[in-house]
Structure 1
Amino acid sequence: MSLPSILVPFVGLVFPALAITTLFLFIERDEIV
């Protein structure tokens, strides 16, 4: 299974960004409470 050349950088950028955003929101929510 090989990904198209366009999806490689997309997944490489969006997935980490989404993970960081989720972690950031989780930490912010935890600090606010």
Structure 2
Amino acid sequence: MPNILPSIFVPLVGLFLPALTMALLYFYIQNDDIF
């Protein structure tokens, strides 16, 4: 079980972290255009 967990967790973070960063940048740019 401990060997299976990182193989699921690492790609999940690898996909989630850039998606979160792009989402925050997108909302920041959208708010910047409004003001």
* Alignment TM-score > 0.5, same fold: yes
In structure 2, the partner of 1:4 is 6
Bigger-Rg structure (1/2): 2
Moved over 2 A (4+): none
Uncovered stretches (5+) of structure 1, i.e. residues with no partner: none
- 3-state SS of paired residue (1:6): helix
Shift of 1:11: 0.5
Q: Which runs of 5 or more residues in structure 2 are unaligned?
A: none
- RMSD between aligned residues: 1.2
Give the TM-score normalised by the residue count of structure 2.
0.80
The answer to whether residue 26 in structure 2 is matched with residue 24 in structure 1 is yes
Calculate percent identity across the aligned residue pairs: 52
